Structure formats: C-alpha cells, structure tokens
Structure 1
Amino acid sequence: MEETISLKEIAEVIKKRLAFILTFILGAAFIAAILSYFVLTPEYQSSSQFIVNQTQQEEDQFTQSDLRTNVEIINTYNVIISSPAILTPVIDELGLDLTTNQLADKINVSSEEDSQVVTVTATDEDPVQAVNIANTTVEIFQEEIPSIMNVDNVAVLTQAELSENPSPVAPNPILNIAIGIVLGAMFGVGIAFLLEYLDNTIKTEQDVSKELNVPVLGVISHVDEDDIRGLQQGNTEQTETTGRRGLNGAKKTV
C-alpha cells in the first residue's frame, strides 16, 4: 500500500530535525572554507592571442572565401598547438619538468565563432610561469607552423603580461562555500527524512491508531520523580496552611 506525505508533514520533519540539518550545513560550509583557503593550491591564468591571416597576395586583397578558409583552418591549429610537435619545444625552452600531456592539461585553446582570433590560455600555480607558458607556446607555434603546414599566416596579436597583483582563478572560496551549503542542506534533509522513515517507534495517539487500527480509549501521562516531589511538596504546604487556619479558628472560638 502506497504511503503519501503532505507538505505539513514535511515541514514538521524539517522543524523536528532542524538542528541536525543546520549541523550538516555548517559542517559542509566549514569544510569547503578550510579546503579553499588552506588546502587547495591557488592557480593563475594568463592568455596570449594570435590571428590567422592569408599569406599576402600580390593584389593585397582578401576575399570572403579566404576568410572562411581561415576560420575553418583554426580548428586544425587548435589541435596542432596541443600536440607534442609544439609542446615539446615549449618544455625544452622553459626547462619544465612536465610531460607533453601534463603541459597540454595546463593549456586551453579557444576562438570565438566566425573569428580569426585564437586565444591560448595557460594555467599554473606560478603566475610568472603561466605568462611564460602562454607566450612561449604562441611564439613556437608561429615559428613551427610554416614547416608543419607550409603556410605563413599566423601573427601574434597580444602577448600575456604579468599584472602587479595577480589574482588566482581557482579555487573560488565563495563559490565553494556556497556549493558546500547547498550540498550540506541536501544531505542533511535527506538523512533527516531517512531517519524519520526508519523510526518505527510509537510516540503519539495517532501512531497507536495507525499501527493497531483500534481507537484510543485513554492516555496515561508519564510522571517522573521531579513531578512526584513537586506534588508532595505542594500537598505538605497545603496541609500546613489548613492546620494554621484550624488553629486560628480554635483560638477565636475560645
């Protein structure tokens, strides 16, 4: 038999285990902050751009077909830039202790749609190294592409430069903390409902009627020792008060 749960019951479960859920949220946010500020290594990015042109013709003019060809060939250039033919000389030039695959992971090549401009972005833990990788990759690509494809249509547009106060692009503490809060809330609420579902103890009159399918005739309240002491103390004070009233009445009668 399928069971349904109402919004009111959901709200009651959340209210009942709110402290438990908040613990998850704060714990996840705290862990995200620790990882972002003290564990994860900051990474810096730097970009260099080049433009793809046709080799200068005698009439010194470019047709629409030439421009379309340049845009199409950029996809090929993107693959060549990340190949060992380019990255191996970059490693040798900079003296990097990396393999070509590791260096390829640090480089991202992109271009806008229908644009002849290609952006080479390098990411590294050292901002200076990121600048060197981006600039050296573009320079070596410009030197090697004539021998690889027998063309000379690459010109450096802008070089990567090191700013005075470089800011890391990763990790992003605010974003990580926000993600931690969301995940903590999801896990907290999920576990809270799981605990509520697994809790099969009988606590209320409704639970008795639901489980046994019989009406509730009466309820016996739980009395602990503090209640008994309070009741005894109240009875003692009441007896003493009654006794005083009786003595006062007797004196007046005499």
Structure 2
Amino acid sequence: MNEQIDLKKVINVIRRNVWWLVGIIGFMVLGMFLYLQYIATPVFQKDTQILVNQSEKSVQSNLNSQTIQADLQLVNTYSTIISSPRILNKVQQELGKQYDIQELAEIIQVKNATDSQVIDISVEHPDPKIAARIANATAQTFTEEIPKIMKIDNVTTLSEAQFFGNELPVKPQKALMLVLAAFIGILVAFAFVFIRLLLNRTFTSQAELEELLGLTVLGEVSDFQNMDLFQTVQPRSKHFKSVTERRR
C-alpha cells in the first residue's frame, strides 16, 4: 500500500513540476552548448607513421620467424625511445624551443598495433598546422637518431602528417557532451522531484491519513470559495444591524 501511495505521490509531484523538470534539462543542455561553442578550446589531431623495415643483413639472409619476431620486439623498443628525453630534446630544438619537454611528452602519443611493424605518432594541439609540424618533426628526428642509438638503420617514414585547412577537431566531442549534459540534467531534475517529495508533508488521500496517523476519519469538509462564505454571512450582518438600530 505504501509503495502505491509513494508512486502516486511521485507522479503527482512530477505533474505539478513538469515545467521545472523541462527547464532544468534544457538549462543543462543549453549551458553545455554555450560552453562548447564559445569557451571550450577545440583540439586537433595529426598522425604520422613509421615503418620498421628489415635490416640489410636480414634481407640478404633467409627470412624466418625469429627475424620477424625480433623486428616486432624492436617496435616496442622504438615506441619507448620516441618518448624519451633524447628524442624530445631534439624535437624541442627543431621547433625553436617553443615547447618544453614536458609539454611535448603530454601532446605526443606513440601507439603500435599488435604484431605490426608500423608505429603511429599522434599529436594533439589546438592548431592543426602546429600539430602536423610537431608530428613530422618527431618522426624525422627519430629516424635520424635511431642509427646512432641502436646502430641499426631500419626505420623509414611511412606517411607524414599533412595540413589541409579544413580539419575537424577531435576534442571536445560535441554530440557526446550534449548527451552527457542531458543525462546529468535528467538526474538533477529527478533529484529535484525527490527533494520536493521529501519536503511535502501533506496527505493525498483519506486512506493515507488513516494508515499513517492511526485515526478514523469521521467526515470530510468540502472545499468552497471565500466569496461564497462572504455572500452567506453578509445578509445576516445586515439583518443584525437593522435589529440593533430598531432597539435604539
């Protein structure tokens, strides 16, 4: 019985505050839209790829599974070397020391697929042209430095990052953020309904009154307007006034 009454009260609160609920959700979505449109900084991503080739000795000899496995292990090693301070320091000098090593480490991401000899270098930056420049500088610097580090010249640039001028940002994802704002708005709206329900101390039915207070309802008083009461009492007051005047 309590569950039915509570559910009924929730529905009644939702009906009475439906415009508040719509307003809260709309406010959250509108606020997120304005933030994405005028405040949030768009971030662009540029990618370049490096291919780990077979070394000259491996090409001259017969290829076998051990040689391929060794190259795959080198890919993991190279991925770590790309993010090392030695490479990033050279990249910093190539860019005219506009960024420190910590900033470069945060915007440069190195990834490689499983069992693949291709290394992906991704750079995220508010300016797509600068992102392409950093990605290409990183790939070029690594290609030049790896023979000095590993004594092996088996790395070539597979594809360079290019700037087209009509790139779309990868962050923030506007559609996802708007959906998230709507979801948060729904949660806030229902929290508002729940608080209103907790603060509501009125009884909605005779059965609820009898059950919660343990009292028996003997009768009900119908609701009436104040004007009806005034019209009912007013003639009596005039009659009383005339009687008092006669007595005087």
What's the secondary structure of 2:42's corresponding residue? coil
Structure 1 residue aligned with 2:68: 67
CA distances 1:191-237 after superposition (whole Å, capped 9, x unpaired): 311331243333543442232112322222333335557x77xx9xx
Opposite residue 161 of structure 2, the aligned amino acid is A
Alignment of 1:162-173 (within 5 A): 162-173=163-174
Structure 2 residue aligned with 1:150: 151
Opposite residue 76 of structure 2, the aligned amino acid is N
Q: Return the TM-score normalized by structure 1.
A: 0.80
Q: Which runs of 4+ in 1 moved over 4 A?
A: 3-8, 10-13, 226-229
| Compared CA separation, residues 166 and 6, structure 1 to 2 (3 A) | farther
User: Root-mean-square deviation (CA), in Å?
Assistant: 2.5
CA distances 1:77-136 after superposition (whole Å, capped 9, x unpaired): 222212211111111111243221211111111112211111101111111100001100
* 8 Å CA contact retained: 1:87, 1:100: yes
Distance 1:98 1:142 in 2: 21
Matched, 1:217 2:223: no
Distance 2:208 2:5 in 1: 16
What's the secondary structure of 1:151's corresponding residue? coil
Structure 2 residue aligned with 1:51: 51
Distance 1:73 1:132 in 2: 26
| Compared CA separation, residues 4 and 144, structure 1 to 2 (3 A) | farther
Shift of 1:166: 1.5
Distance 2:199 2:228 in 1: 32
Q: Identity across aligned pairs (percent)?
A: 29
Shift of 1:168: 1.4
Structure 1 residue aligned with 2:141: 140
Matched, 1:32 2:47: no
| Compared CA separation, residues 227 and 46, structure 1 to 2 (3 A) | farther
Distance 2:140 2:192 in 1: 55
Paired residues, what number? 230
CA distances 1:159-184 after superposition (whole Å, capped 9, x unpaired): 01111412111222222111100111
| Compared CA separation, residues 137 and 204, structure 1 to 2 (3 A) | same
Opposite residue 32 of structure 1, the aligned amino acid is M
Opposite residue 221 of structure 2, the aligned amino acid is I
Opposite residue 75 of structure 2, the aligned amino acid is I
Provide structure 1 residue ranges, at least 5 long, that are not aligned to the other structure.
Answer: 236-254
| Compared CA separation, residues 191 and 149, structure 1 to 2 (3 A) | farther
Residue range with higher mean Cα deviation, 128-137 or 49-58: 49-58
Opposite residue 114 of structure 1, the aligned amino acid is D
Provide structure 2 residue ranges, at least 5 long, that are not aligned to the other structure.
Answer: 236-248
* 8 Å CA contact retained: 2:13, 2:196: no
Distance 1:172 1:90 in 2: 29
